[in-house]
Amino acid sequence: MVTSKKSRFTRLFVTYLILIIVMIAIIYPLLWTVGASFNPGNSLVSTTMFPENPTFEHYKALFSGEGNLQYVQWYKNSIKVSIFTMIGTLVSVSFTAYAFSRFRFKGRKNGLTLFLLLQMIPQFSALVALYVLAQMLGMMNSHWLLIMLYIGGQIPMNTYLMKGYMDSISMELDESARIDGASNTRIFFQIIMPLSRPMLAVVAMNGFTGPLGDFILSSTILRSAEYYTLPIGLYNLVNQVQGASYTKFAAGAILISIPVAFIFLLLQKNFVSGLTSGGTKG
């Protein structure tokens, strides 16, 4: 009995110790970035995590356009790309996953295998081809091309997740609806979609946050400052040979979290259950 209590205590101690270490590893850099965004000057170097004389000058500079800084335009561009990517991903993934989950057709297994393989191929391996394609189509500096590429990159992984979730929805619901005269379209919109809200929340979150953190693909397609998204614009703040502003970079990076937090709060009721579901059946 004593040994069992000691063993339980040891497991709990190790579990909480790991959780504390992980929390510190995540929260400490975030707090340091927040502190740096209020630090006077352009350097991240500080004796304390939060400066003794905090200032809002870096945030003011971002929104005032000081020194031809187009942060507000970059922010608008990123939100535009993220929202349309999220919508396009939800629509395409929903139909694709429904087809793979509910219908049996020639090439179905090969299609699922292809999606699985596409997840393993890094996106930057096709950068040269994408650059040539953009040049041929005359769509350099096009947000719409970037959105289509993001949607295409989101489809394989999210389709696999959504299909796994739809597989867990009983086929008896479909059969009962068909007996009542419902078409596949009606079943999809009135039965499958409402029941798939948790996974739809996960797909929406993936579709929205993906473009906000991408630098490689966006920097390949977007070449003019007025078309930049936030990752490119913020990178340029710290890539200058002279006058690199790390504190403005920190302030700009903190502000990126606002739309992400808003989307998460909007979807949080379904988000957790969606993360723990999907991929349960082949």
pTM assigned to the model: 0.83
Q: Residue 203's pLDDT is what?
A: 92
Beta carbons of 245 and 69 less than 8 angstroms apart: no
- Of 5 and 146, the one with more pLDDT: 146
Alpha-carbon gap, residue 199 to 186, rounded angstroms: 20
Task: Phi first, then psi: give them for residue 142, nearest 5 degrees.
Answer: -100, 120
Alpha-carbon gap, residue 154 to 114, rounded angstroms: 14
- 246-275 and 197-213 helices cross at what angle (nearest 10)? 160
Q: Which residues contact 219 (CB under 8 A, 6 or more apart)?
A: 231, 232, 235
Summarised one tens digit per residue, pLDDT across range 181-195 is: 888 889 899 889 988
Summarised one tens digit per residue, pLDDT across range 86-124 is: 999 999 999 999 999 888 888 888 888 887 787 777 777
Lowest mean pLDDT among 160-174, 206-220, 229-243: 229-243
Summarised one tens digit per residue, pLDDT across range 135-149 is: 888 888 899 999 999
Residue identified by tokens 């937090």 is 261
Alpha-carbon Rg for the chain, nearest whole angstrom, is 23
Q: Which residues contact 78 (CB under 8 A, 6 or more apart)?
A: 211, 212, 229, 230, 231, 256
The sign of the dihedral angle between the CA atoms of 43, 48, 52, 56 is: positive
